[in-house]
Amino acid sequence: MQEQVILVDQQDREIGVAEKLEAHRKGKLHRAFSVFLFNAKDEMLLQQRAAEKYHSGGLWTNTCCSHPRPGEQTEAAARRRLREEMGISCNLNKAFDFIYRAEFDNGLIEHELDHVFIGRYDGAALPDPGEVMAHRWVSIDTLKKDLAIAPENFTAWFKIAVHKVLQARSGQPPSSA
């Protein structure tokens, strides 16, 4: 069965469904989510996407990201994929959402209304090797340096969302930029 995504308008109202690859070929706006986990040392858990992913393979990104299925609540989908991708179960809190559009060299287009969830986790990750090539906990200072030195090593959505996540965690409202 082909995986489907939920098509939405700019206000996140459902307007239909589409096959996932078709939505990415045509750049249709669809619902997505990103999960950012932090540990007690205030480190962020990153994953390196498996090389075989349909886009952004081998790039570093947030702990988990995906799309809810038709009829599935976004937070429930985030919890499901966090278990499937990283072998982690923990509480998540919705932080904000944002819309972004990114075009890739392979002709695919990410055009997503991304719901961002933040959680706290201090255990071990057990990633699915079909989804995740590597993972690591990183301090915020190291992450900022890595992003400044080699932004090409990170996914398009991560480079947008990470700054908003850090603002939200510090009590500031996320910027619209």
Residue 171's pLDDT is 66
- 101 forms beta bridges with 111
In this structure, which amino acid lies at residue 170?
S
Q: Which residues of 25-57 are buried (b: 16+ CB within 10 A; e: fewer)?
A: eeebbbbbbbbbbbeeeebbbbbbbbeeeebbe
**Mind listing the pLDDT tens digit for each residue in 34-76?**
999 999 999 999 999 987 776 677 899 999 999 999 999 999 9
Give the number of other Cβ atoms within 10 Å of residue 141's Cβ.
9
Concatenating the DSSP letter of every residue in 29-59 gives: -EEEEEEEEE-TT-PEEEEEEPTTSSSSTT-
Residues marked as catalytic: 65, 112
> Among candidates 112, 116, 157, which has minimal Cα distance to 12?
112
Domains of the chain: residue spans and CATH: 4-169 (3.90.79.10)
DSSP H/E element including 169: helix 156-169
| pLDDT higher than threshold 60 for residue 175 | no
Percent of the chain with pLDDT over 90: 80
pLDDT tens, residue by residue, 67-84: 999 999 999 999 999 999
